[in-house]
Structure 1
Amino acid sequence: MSSIQRRLFLVLLAATGIVWISAALWIQSSTRTELNRVLDNRLAEAARMVASLVDARGLPLDTAMRMAAPALPGGSGHDYASQLSCQVWALDGTRLAASSQAPQKALSVVPEGFSDREVDGVTWRVHTLLDEARGIRVMVGDSLSMRERLLQDMVMGLMWPALAVLPLLAAGIWLSLRGGLAPLRRVAEELSRRGAEDLEPLQASAPREVAPMVEALNGLFGRVRAARRREQDFTAYAAHELKTPLAGLKMQADVARLAPDPATRDHALAQIHRAVDRTDRLVHQLLDLAAVDSGAADSEPREIARIGADVMDLTAAAARRHGVVLELDCEEALAPRLQAQPGLLVTALRNLVENAVHASVTGGRVDLVLRTDGGGWRAEVRDEGRGIPAVDRDRITERFYRGAVATGQGSGLGLAIVESAARRMGASFVLRPRSPRGEIASLVFAR
């Protein structure tokens, strides 16, 4: 597993190294420019000094050479003493005098000014001074290799102290990163000490940069707690809802077995039939809820008109048992439109229609209306039942909530399934009273 601290350390160290190298190159370049300027000025000054000594004091040329050639003090105390080479030439090309370290050939062939020339395998930087009044040409030069060595010594003299500090800088970066990442380690330590059942919010104090991660973890813990509660409630309610009809089935089976007359037996068998229907619907809804929660849906889109027809087929038997009339009204322009996730939509609409059928009185009517709505469309299920009481509207989509005036026929899952399916499809689920009586349940698709 890669380490954030190690990665940041290497990145910062690399960035520091790049800055360091860039600074070294800049120092070398600027030092080279300044050094060449200073040494060129020295050559010009030395040439003028040789000419002035000969002129003002009347010194012999050899004496003037010895006075001008050292140029840098220190004798043999350092490598850069006595590095200047001086030559004096007559204008006719006759060599008049030269310093002891000067080559035999002329240092420059340029009549006047600065020039570079290779003599006897050594490249010289030369300044030539022309004195026409006295008929002489003074050449003063130093080797470029000496200049390069001087430059390297100066740069290294500047860089060595900085290089010596580099390990201390690396240690400082490492310790700073370790301290900066300490809040993450504290969060990790708190998480590692927790048991699987501990989903309480993290209490570790965190700096501003780490706080969003801690808040996200706490939000995740909250969602996991809610999901676990739903699972526990689901198990408890499912067991309870299945236990009641199964107990009724057992009792009515005993009644039918021991019935003293056909009327009693027929009544018991009718009760068994109703209990089986209720159990079948509950199991069906539990399977629907599991499918919706897991996001199960058809992979291929289907036409909206076909989806509406499928819903009618799936709910026709329940409508016949309750004596309710079903009607499908699909707008012609909407019918051929394809709908993604048709499985979720069929599940949602079937549960809405079944709820409407169970809420309707015998001889009532339930309409499934499919209409365009701006750039999107809507599906409405309209019934003529008693509607949803105001006291139940805020909780009617909770799982296993059947309302304050429930008749005991439903399981409290239908509208919860619809809301979950609508959320997965990106639709809005709206319930509103119908005038003069009944309810309108709408699934609104924005696009």
Structure 2
Amino acid sequence: MSNSLRGTLIRSLLVVVTPLWLVASVLLALHARHEINELYDGQQQTFAQQLYSTLPMLAARQQGLPPEQKQESDHQAVAAWDASGQRLLVDSEGLDLDYRADGSGFHSLQHDGENWRVYYLSGPDGTVAVAQELDERWEALSGLLLTQSLLWLVLLPVALGAVWWAVAHSLRPLAVLRGALQQRQADDPTPLERDVPREIQPLIDGMNSLIDRVADTLQRERQFTASAAHELRSPLAALRVQAELLTLLDEPAARNAAAGKVMQGVDRASHLVDQLLALSRLEQQHDLPRQPLDWAQIAEHACQQVADYAAQRGSHIVPQLSGEPLAAGEATLLTLLLRNLLDNALRYSPPGSHIVLEVGPQQIRVLDNGPGIAAEYLAQVGQRFFRPPGQGQSGSGLGLSIVRRIAELHGLRLSWHNRSEGGLEVCLQPDSH
């Protein structure tokens, strides 16, 4: 089940922003409470100072009279006392404010289940008290937080819509890229444009690399298929001719000779198919299981596989082991590599030749004493189906291609050159790149 990138981004923003908003709301509430307390405390102190300034007038007016009753004021209460502690003023709510002549400051008071904050101001003329119900402060704070919450809830859909549009606009290059890929031919090697946001450029680079490899692979496969069809056409046509000849011949000797040629043609076609299948499998491999290698055993197996052919030609293979060029690899493929090199050396050397197989810590070499390769064809040797002109031996031209691919899979570099004393030297060395 695929997820929308835009939806994922929106959900991620909500997951990140919501806790941040909650933390910010808590910090805002703490700060607002502090500011509201400072504001109301300042108002109480100001009111108390104004009331204190009226004490002489209240004391003169209230000589022998009961305390003056102040008009009711919601959530507030006041009281005033002269220097002797006689009450001069009380509010009409009847809040019982105690007389305190021990200095100025704030005190807490609970009356009828309500919490009050009281400020006392004392001086030579007497004492005043200004009380305020704390619920009024909490109402102001809750109103502020409610306004902030409602604003968040109203702006949230707008913000999410804006983010959705911005993400969609930012992802437009991906839609353009998708359209370009849908219209592209599989073998089109043209790289994609890199005029995209910086975050998408690595993706474009990776896709361009993949496009180049796919186009190169398809091109090589077309060439491989065309060459394979051409190479198979000749032995199959020869087989058909020999098969038709068998139906026309009556003499046993002639029929046997034609049958022998048919068998040779079948062997050649079978060998070519085997080589094609081996190369096809190798081209599809990009990594190998690495196992410890026994090079003495690998060389022995490779020599055994070409021993019958060497005996037919009266040639000898001389293995020389002085070390191990690779500690780990795929033994079966390396045996195939050595077998192909030895088969080529036997095939293109005169009968009775000595073929040397050297396996050392720095390189693998196969040396023969054949005619070598003409200088103008050295660069083409190893290409699929290429065989230098004038060859008297049958072959598919795939042996060195298989060797090269196995060498690449093992990190080896394949090279060859004509020996000064005659013959060809094929060398495998660890690739330094």
Aligned partner of 1:123 in structure 2 is: 115
Contact 1:292 1:344 in 2 (8 A): no
Task: Name the CA distance, whole Å, in 2 between partners of 1:405 and 1:122.
Answer: 117
Identify the match of residue 225 of structure 2 among 223, 235, 260.
235
Contact 1:304 1:338 in 2 (8 A): no
Task: Name the CA distance, whole Å, in 1 between partners of 2:415 and 2:102.
Answer: 99
Contact 2:67 2:89 in 1 (8 A): no
Aligned partner of 2:159 in structure 1 is: 169
CA distances 1:202-238 after superposition (whole Å, capped 9, x unpaired): 7678513334434433433332233233333333322
Cα 1:351–1:50 change in 2 (3 A) is same
Note the C-alpha offset of 1:312: 1.2
Question: What count of residue pairs does the alignment treat as equivalent?
Answer: 425
Please give the secondary structure, in 1, of the residue aligned with 2:39. Answer: helix
Contact 1:87 1:102 in 2 (8 A): no
Aligned partner of 1:342 in structure 2 is: 331
Contact 2:340 2:403 in 1 (8 A): yes
Please give the secondary structure, in 1, of the residue aligned with 2:130. Answer: strand
Cα 1:218–1:99 change in 2 (3 A) is same
Contact 1:107 1:141 in 2 (8 A): no
Note the C-alpha offset of 1:173: 1.0
Note the C-alpha offset of 1:6: 1.4
Aligned partner of 2:383 in structure 1 is: 398
Please give the secondary structure, in 1, of the residue aligned with 2:54. Answer: helix
Contact 2:288 2:409 in 1 (8 A): no
CA distances 1:88-124 after superposition (whole Å, capped 9, x unpaired): 3578876553222462253989864223333331122
Task: Name the CA distance, whole Å, in 2 between partners of 1:327 and 1:445.
Answer: 26
Unpaired runs of 5+ in structure 1?
A: 71-81
Task: Name the CA distance, whole Å, in 2 between partners of 1:10 and 1:298.
Answer: 44
Contact 1:431 1:440 in 2 (8 A): yes
Matched, 1:85 2:85: no
One-letter identity of the residue aligned with 1:217: M
Aligned partner of 1:79 in structure 2 is: none
CA distances 1:295-318 after superposition (whole Å, capped 9, x unpaired): 397786542221121111112223
Note the C-alpha offset of 1:272: 5.0
Task: Name the CA distance, whole Å, in 2 between partners of 1:349 and 1:251.
Answer: 36
Note the C-alpha offset of 1:442: 0.7
Contact 2:59 2:88 in 1 (8 A): no
Note the C-alpha offset of 1:291: 3.0
Cα 1:245–1:153 change in 2 (3 A) is same
Task: Name the CA distance, whole Å, in 1 between partners of 2:402 and 2:67.
Answer: 113
Note the C-alpha offset of 1:4: 0.9
One-letter identity of the residue aligned with 2:425: E
Note the C-alpha offset of 1:249: 3.9
Aligned partner of 1:8 in structure 2 is: 9
User: How do 1:114-153 and structure 2 match up within 5 A?
Assistant: 114-131=106-123, 133-134=124-125, 136-153=126-143
User: How do 1:406-445 and structure 2 match up within 5 A?
Assistant: 409-437=394-422, 438-444=424-430
Task: Name the CA distance, whole Å, in 2 between partners of 1:394 and 1:127.
Answer: 105
Task: Name the CA distance, whole Å, in 2 between partners of 1:148 and 1:321.
Answer: 109
Aligned partner of 1:361 in structure 2 is: 350
Note the C-alpha offset of 1:319: 2.4
CA distances 1:232-273 after superposition (whole Å, capped 9, x unpaired): 3333322322232233344456667748795x7787666556
Task: Name the CA distance, whole Å, in 1 between partners of 2:418 and 2:96.
Answer: 117
Note the C-alpha offset of 1:54: 0.8
User: How do 1:178-197 and structure 2 match up within 5 A?
Assistant: 178-193=168-183
Task: Name the CA distance, whole Å, in 2 between partners of 1:107 and 1:301.
Answer: 100
Note the C-alpha offset of 1:13: 4.0
TM-score (norm 1): 0.79
Contact 2:81 2:99 in 1 (8 A): no
Aligned partner of 2:302 in structure 1 is: 311
Q: Percent identical across equivalent pairs?
A: 27
RMSD across aligned positions (CA): 3.8
Cα 1:397–1:18 change in 2 (3 A) is farther
One-letter identity of the residue aligned with 2:47: A
CA distances 1:326-379 after superposition (whole Å, capped 9, x unpaired): 122222x549x8633222222222222222222322222222222223xxxx43
Cα 1:356–1:167 change in 2 (3 A) is same
Identify the match of residue 387 of structure 1 among 372, 377, 391.
372
Contact 1:87 1:106 in 2 (8 A): no
Please give the secondary structure, in 2, of the residue aligned with 1:221. Answer: helix
Contact 2:104 2:119 in 1 (8 A): yes
Task: Name the CA distance, whole Å, in 2 between partners of 1:401 and 1:60.
Answer: 130
